[in-house]
Structure 1
């Protein structure tokens, strides 16, 4: 790790520490000093705000890691964590559970606490496996992309059909579709941390292979890169990261797409540095968005996905304008 990467990582960690303190202090009840001696407030901080704050950071880190992997693997700067149909699979998994379990106070609580972890995760992984099956492996990048788009459209149609049949499912899934960090607890934190602990080292171990792949497949092969194994490992890391984040927080837009772009805007980086700095950036972004979601219309909350979509879309429009890319028509 060079000096520039260490400096940027230190700045991002400092920003994370500041946001973490802010996240513990801000809630739907307003500002609460961390030094308060009230027992009920301490329980509120520990049982609700602390896991939500830490979980939001971990989810953002996972989405950014998946985005960095996807952009490097597919050599496409617009690749995002949901390319392989994982988001559509997660949505369908949760919709199926709600459809068959039914909507009641007890089942709704089960869906919020267990369904996003179980059903959405299973649906996301199953969608990725279906994509790999349709693509006949991982050798053809274009085939993978097309298969992911097809799986996403088909599974999305299945979710729409279930919600039309049972409108209660649609209302219950609304927070999932818009993205929410309001249901994160310590169990969610453990799931997200385990996913990051597995996917992070796996991706970093493939960073040199991604550097070689950026020069072209033929060049990568001459450098001794085993492309099939590289793609399998990276798709596994990308799928695990996306599935875990989506299962816990729903569909949070743009974090995985924007975070790697922000890192590259600071200067040229290798994939090793990108795969380290992008999760730190993504975690900081989603945590900041989560704090804003609690604060903007308190005591009510905004879905965090709407804030990330607004900020992420605005950033990408600014990036297109700065680079002189046409937004429509001829230049």
Structure 2
């Protein structure tokens, strides 16, 4: 028993080490494969820990620093955020199939992206797509809150049913606008709806990184409350927890986090559904351990899913949602058989 406890405590440090190694190694993959040593030299140069290396070409420097590293780091941010929100929603709704996309947030963001592409054009420059996607996600979240809490408490079943209703409605509106609008825009919107990290730039990372850090810390600070809610409404109420208020707060934070990530990466599914189940096998049910491990494993999963998206049909990009759905679906099938 003591040995198992020590192994559990070692999982997170080892996973963090694997994440750091993966960030460097994954940056090497793409249409042009680079040596990890060259990537290390570029990173040391740009962070001020080494002189400009004459053996690293300007093209290699540009590929690593301006294109691939921001993309890998965006994968870290999005993967960690989706995995943590998925674990939180599964606890707050006591539903093992709960997922950020069941809240209708992704469908709302997709609808906003379609409006940006078909109607708004280049209204806000390079931020147009992300801005409209974020607005769509927030509107969808507000609709779910209103429907779920209409004339009653925000219960788990009402929350999920409201999310499904909003998701179907938003998807129908997006498909209608695509059908009636410019058909040339359909391909770009379809790629965005399936998810991708191709928009990653250093200027785009600041807001998602800040929101993810603050949001994940806020959720982790409520680990004990999440543990109590997993035990049931009566147990949580007996501990003095206002379950309706806490569930509403958790939903709002999770919806905002999902909206931010979807607005910069598109609708990437299965991360928030599958990763928490995998992590529970290493960390147990306590959210004090589960949430940090979900953040690391979600980041690892999305980093390597993006590597597959880059190399499988290089030099073109495969939508990352295809990779996550294939891997996530197979993993979920294995988990279901073992339950």
Separation in 2 of the partners of 1:292 and 1:18? Answer: 17
- The residue aligned with 2:19 is 16
Unaligned runs of 5+ in 2: 42-54
> What aligned pairs does 1:73-88 form with structure 2 within 5 A after superposition?
73-88=92-107
Residue 267 of structure 1: how far off its partner (Å): 5.1
Separation in 1 of the partners of 2:109 and 2:338? Answer: 35
Separation in 2 of the partners of 1:142 and 1:265? Answer: 26
Q: Is the 8 A contact 1:91 1:177 kept in 2?
A: yes
Residues 1:219 and 2:235 aligned together: yes
TM-score (norm 2): 0.88
Q: Deviations over 1:225-275 (max 9, x none)?
A: 122331122112211221111111111121111110110122523012111
Which of 209, 213, 232 is 1:193 aligned to?
A: 209
Separation in 2 of the partners of 1:54 and 1:126? Answer: 28
- The residue aligned with 1:25 is 28
Separation in 2 of the partners of 1:236 and 1:27? Answer: 37
- The residue aligned with 1:91 is 110
- The residue aligned with 1:300 is 316
- The residue aligned with 1:140 is 155
Which shows bigger deviation, 78-87 or 23-32? 23-32
Residues 1:48 and 2:67 aligned together: yes
Q: Aligned to 1:161, what secondary structure does the other structure show?
A: helix
Residues 1:260 and 2:263 aligned together: no
Q: Is the 8 A contact 1:5 1:273 kept in 2?
A: no
Residues 1:59 and 2:62 aligned together: no
Which shows bigger deviation, 43-52 or 136-145? 136-145
Separation in 2 of the partners of 1:109 and 1:302? Answer: 27
- The residue aligned with 1:206 is 222
Separation in 1 of the partners of 2:200 and 2:274? Answer: 23
Please give the root-mean-square deviation of Cα atoms over the aligned residues, in Å.
1.9
Which of 118, 123, 135 is 1:122 aligned to?
A: 135
TM-score (norm 1): 0.90
Separation in 1 of the partners of 2:302 and 2:231? Answer: 32
Which of 177, 187, 209 is 2:193 aligned to?
A: 177
Q: Aligned to 2:101, what secondary structure does the other structure show?
A: coil
Residue 292 of structure 1: how far off its partner (Å): 1.8
Residue 108 of structure 1: how far off its partner (Å): 10
For these two proteins, the number of residue pairs brought into alignment is: 316
- The residue aligned with 2:44 is none
Q: Deviations over 1:175-206 (max 9, x none)?
A: 11111111111122212211112211111122
Q: Aligned to 1:31, what secondary structure does the other structure show?
A: coil
Separation in 2 of the partners of 1:171 and 1:139? Answer: 38
Separation in 2 of the partners of 1:3 and 1:122? Answer: 45
Q: Is the 8 A contact 1:66 1:256 kept in 2?
A: yes
Identify if the C-alpha distance between structure 1 residues 205 and 223 changes in structure 2 by more than 3 Å, giving closer, same or farther: same
Which of 141, 144, 168 is 1:131 aligned to?
A: 144
Separation in 2 of the partners of 1:191 and 1:169? Answer: 27
